[in-house]
Amino acid sequence: MSSLRARPFAVALVILMAAALGACSSGRQARIKTGSVSIATVSLMSRLDMPRSAPILIRIFKEEAVLEVWKQERDGRYGLLRSYPICQFSGTLGPKEREGDRQAPEGFYEIDRGSLNPFSRNHLAFNIGFPNAYDRSLGRTGSHLMVHGGCKSVGCYAMTHRRMEEIYGLVREALLSGQRSIPIQAFPFRMTEENMMRHADNPNMPFWEMLKVGYDAFAQTGVPPRVAACPGSYKFTTDPHWRQASDAEICEAAASYAAL
């Protein structure tokens, strides 16, 4: 009889435990943040003839303290959709070189679905992808370099929660709409001839001259160049035949061409 009396209690306990686990699970799901694109920005896309599902490009300029989101227009070229002030980045002009140097990266990177962090302690975040193959070939080290919410930075780009809400939303929408990866280009400044001359005596100038090749390719074509992070250098091409090629294939082709 005691076992029969205990059975309803055991069943009830199992039900309560299941309910508790369900509550934890649903609570975690409720905490997943997705970002949101404002009605004003969606209306702007329409006015600029940018399909909402079209690919995007992100550009960062340290000296001007601005993050730009560019979006593909219906004719295939990219136009500037939004500019967001950067609240804070750490370090100075120049690339990140080692873990703990509190320097925000410069260079060409890619964001994919695995880069997104909806559970960030800084509201929302995505990983820039530092170090890439080029960085590693130079012995550069670092990890968890992000664009994130808030206004404090230790090697990252902090955008404030409100701005990050929309930037993250734009990134997520592009990835969910089929863009395999989103280029993110981080520059020390707008790479005009005037700015290059102004910083001509900076020891980072050889690195910046290489970045300028990619900067100029986009300015001339209106389409982000295919960028390969190769050992020792970045390689750029605007040839559509190379757009789906791997970095390794582009690096190998560039090395073969240079050897001729």
Write down the domain spans for the chain: 39-220
- Architecture of domain 39-220 in this structure: Beta Barrel (2.40)
Q: pLDDT band for 21, please (50, 70, 90 cuts).
A: very low
pLDDT top residue among 250 and 17: 250
The answer, yes or no, to whether residue 198 has pLDDT greater than 50, is yes
Phi, psi of 185 (to 5 degrees): -115, 120
Predicted local distance difference test score (pLDDT) of residue 28: 41
Catalytic residue (choose from 87, 123, 151, 156): 156
Q: What whole-number distance in Å separates Cα of residue 102 and Cα of residue 105?
A: 10
16 CB burial (10 A radius; 0-12, 13-18, 19+): exposed
Q: Is 199 a catalytic residue?
A: no
pLDDT tens per residue, range 247-260: 999 999 988 876 53
Is the pLDDT at 243 greater than 50? The verdict is yes
In sequence order, what are the residues at sequence separation of 6 or more whose Cβ sits closer than 8 angstroms to the Cβ of residue 172?
34, 35, 116
Q: What is the mean pLDDT of the chain?
A: 88
Give the DSSP letter string of 99-144: TTS-----EEEEE-GGGEETT-TTSSEEE---S-HHHHHTT-----
d(CA 226, CA 95): 21
Annotation marks residue 156 as catalytic = yes
91-139 pLDDT tens trace: 999 999 999 999 999 999 999 999 999 999 999 999 999 999 999 999 9
Which one is catalytic: 24, 87, 123, 148? 148
Q: Which DSSP category does 225 fall into?
A: P
Q: Could you count the other beta carbons within 10 Å of the beta carbon of residue 166? A: 20
**Cα distance between residue 225 and residue 217, in whole Å:** 6
pTM of the model: 0.86
Give CA–CA dist 164/84, Å, rounded: 9
Residue labelled with tokens 């960028």: 227
Cis peptide before 95 (omega within 30 of 0): no
Average pLDDT over residues 232-251: 92
Looking at residue 169, what is its pLDDT?
97
List of E strands, 78-119: 78-85, 88-89, 107-111, 116-117
Mean pLDDT of 28-39: 76
What's the average model confidence in pLDDT over 204-228?
Answer: 97
pLDDT band at 32; cut points 50, 70, 90 = confident
DSSP helix/strand/coil, 95:
coil
